[in-house]
């Protein structure tokens, strides 16, 4: 049996095993993904994970919608561990997530990103009628993908480029190899000017509403403008401090 045949045989066995484990009402979209995969996953949880990994934009939207159902905990506000550099906090790149903080963590069975119950296979709805959340899970599979998307959007550059029909969001020029994924409102500015906005609306700054792909040249010009803005803000802060009583 050559390598290719062995691989095909392995896939057949894996598919048969998954099919035998399939509960009633398994999401059709996930099963369609399973049968189309080059390497069939070993478990149904891995199948759900693979489905969301293939749909990061959908995961982004869903995670924000789930978080909107929960809302922020009473009295919570977005704060940072202050580790000052150039007069700015350094951790504003991490999306605000109150339910990941020890003070608001809701325990097992609740997603630490959106605060909603986690069900079988890390799914976000109890479509199996289990009547209770998972005893161990602390993330929805969708929220894992959304979190990765929010914290490393450049990893999905190909998808984001396609969404813009391969045109730069600023210059409309064709996007070539050096194109960059960019936050329309830079994250330092989100922290500086928007941090008191309600959660989870804030998460949109990490998601698709605030992401664009631009040419390398457009990105360089935009970054230079942002750096100038930051320097101006720092000078204004110093002048303000020096004239304050």
The residues of the shown chain that bind Zn ion, judged by CB under 5 A, are 111, 113-114, 140, 143
Report, in Å, the least distance between residue 46 CB and Zn ion.
18
Give the residues across from 174 on adjacent strands. 167
Report, in Å, the least distance between residue 105 CB and Zn ion.
13
Report which of 177, 65, 183 is spatially closest to residue 191, judged by C-alpha positions: 183
Report, in Å, the least distance between residue 79 CB and Zn ion.
22
Tell me how far apart the alpha carbons of residues 187 and 92 are, in angstroms, rounded to a whole number: 7
- Give the burial class of 192: count Cβ atoms within 10 A of its Cβ; 0-12 exposed, 13-18 middle, 19 or more buried: middle
Contact 63, 113 (CB under 8 A): yes
Q: Tell me the backbone φ, ψ of residue 183, rounded to 5 degrees.
A: -85, 125
Q: Give the residue with the Cβ less far from Zn ion, 43 or 69.
A: 69
Report, in Å, the least distance between residue 25 CB and Zn ion.
20
DSSP reduced 3-state for 120 = helix
Contact 80, 92 (CB under 8 A): yes
Q: Give the residue with the Cβ less far from Zn ion, 114 or 190.
A: 114
Q: Give the residue with the Cβ less far from Zn ion, 113 or 214.
A: 113
Q: Give the residue with the Cβ less far from Zn ion, 126 or 217.
A: 126
Report, in Å, the least distance between residue 59 CB and Zn ion.
10
Q: Which two tokens stand for residue 187?
A: 């994250």
Print burial letters for 71-82: b (CB count within 10 Å at least 16), e (below 16): ebeeeeebeeee
Q: Max alpha carbon distance in the chain (Å)?
A: 84
- Give the burial class of 196: count Cβ atoms within 10 A of its Cβ; 0-12 exposed, 13-18 middle, 19 or more buried: exposed
Report, in Å, the least distance between residue 139 CB and Zn ion.
7
Report, in Å, the least distance between residue 147 CB and Zn ion.
9
Q: Give the residue with the Cβ less far from Zn ion, 14 or 113.
A: 113
Residue nearest Zn ion, CB atom distance: 111
Other Cβ atoms less than 10 A from the Cβ of 194: the count is 15
200: preceding bond cis by omega (within 30 degrees): yes
Give the residues across from 85 on adjacent strands. 88
Q: Give the residue with the Cβ less far from Zn ion, 29 or 227.
A: 29
Q: Give the residue with the Cβ less far from Zn ion, 78 or 147.
A: 147
């Amino acid at each position: 049996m050559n390598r290719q045949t062995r691989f095909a045989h392995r896939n057949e066995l894996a598919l048969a095993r998954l099919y035998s484990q399939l509960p009633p009402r398994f999401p059709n979209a996930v099963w369609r993904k399973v049968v189309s995969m080059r390497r069939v996953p070993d478990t149904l949880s891995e199948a759900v994970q693979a489905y969301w990994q293939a749909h990061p934009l959908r995961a982004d939207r869903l995670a924000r919608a789930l978080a909107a159902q929960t809302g922020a905990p009473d009295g919570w506000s977005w704060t940072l561990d202050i580790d000052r550099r150039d007069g700015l906090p350094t951790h504003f790149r991490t999306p605000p997530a109150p339910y990941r903080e020890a003070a608001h963590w809701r325990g097992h069975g609740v997603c630490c990103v959106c605060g909603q119950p986690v069900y079988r296979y890390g799914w976000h709805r109890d479509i199996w009628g289990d009547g209770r959340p998972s005893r161990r899970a602390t993330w929805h599979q969708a929220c894992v993908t959304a979190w990765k998307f929010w914290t490393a959007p450049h990893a999905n550059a190909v998808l984001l480029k396609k969404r813009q029909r391969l045109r730069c969001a600023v210059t409309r020029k064709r996007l070539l190899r050096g194109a960059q994924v960019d936050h329309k409102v830079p994250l330092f500015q989100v922290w500086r000017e928007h941090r008191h906005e309600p959660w989870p609306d804030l998460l949109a700054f990490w998601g698709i509403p605030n992401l664009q792909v631009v040419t390398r040249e457009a990105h360089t010009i935009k970054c230079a403008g942002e750096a100038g803005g930051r320097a101006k803000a720092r000078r204004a802060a110093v002048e303000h401090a020096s004239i304050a009583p």
